[in-house]
């Protein structure tokens, strides 16, 4: 009986783990055919490590950087903006980023869409093609400009600038 309990607890621990700092693995450690896809996978995987809200009721709107930094827990809107800010810090322009919302399990869910092609979703550790979400009837919207104000772009992981991506 104790062995079964130990196995159950060990299986559940990774789902409960959260990390204050990103792992900072080499970009080559992430899946993807190009450095851009690897970068998106890195951002998606790292951002998805944040603590989820109980019943997805944390943010009432897309949070600012300050609101996100102060949040103990985040919901899908927080995950979207955590990814937006990470990609923005790597030099990805706001014109390439959109938020898509749709109904999922009787709730409105939000995901990040990059280049109208790639979907970064907190419910999935993999980057998905936007076409896979068509059945949900997503509504695309630009990220509000007031949330995108920040300093100059930084160097991308692995030493390449995002302008190369």
What are the mean pLDDT values of the chain's consecutive 10-residue runs (165 residues total)?
45 45 63 85 90 76 91 92 95 95 90 96 93 94 85 44 49
> Residue 98: in which H helix or E strand, if any?
strand 97-104
All domains of the chain in start order, with CATH: 27-150 (3.10.620.30)
How far apart CA 1 and CA 8 sit, in angstroms, is 11
* pLDDT score recorded for residue 16: 42
58-66 CB contacts, 8 Å cutoff, 24+ apart: 62/99, 62/110, 62/143, 62/144, 62/147, 64/146, 64/147, 65/147, 65/150
pLDDT at position 12, please? 43
The token pair at 8 is 């159950």
**Amino acid 153: pLDDT:** 43
> Could you tell me the pTM of the whole model?
0.75
What per-residue confidence (pLDDT) applies to 30? 72
């Amino acid at each position: 009986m104790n062995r079964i309990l130990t196995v159950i607890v060990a299986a559940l621990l990774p789902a409960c783990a959260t990390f204050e700092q990103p792992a900072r693995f080499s970009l080559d450690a992430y899946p993807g055919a190009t450095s851009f896809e690897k970068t998106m996978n890195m951002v998606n995987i790292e951002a998805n490590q944040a603590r989820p809200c109980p019943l997805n009721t944390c943010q009432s709107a897309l949070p600012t950087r300050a609101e996100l930094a102060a949040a103990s827990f985040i919901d899908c809107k927080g995950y979207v903006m955590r990814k937006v800010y990470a990609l923005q810090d790597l030099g990805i322009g706001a014109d390439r980023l959109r938020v898509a919302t749709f109904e999922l399990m009787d709730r409105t869910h939000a995901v990040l869409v990059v280049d109208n092609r790639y979907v970064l979703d907190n419910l999935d550790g993999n980057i998905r093609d936007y076409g896979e979400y068509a059945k949900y009837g997503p509504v695309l919207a630009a990220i509000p400009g007031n949330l995108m104000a920040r300093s100059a772009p930084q160097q991308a992981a692995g030493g390449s600038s995002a302008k190369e991506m």
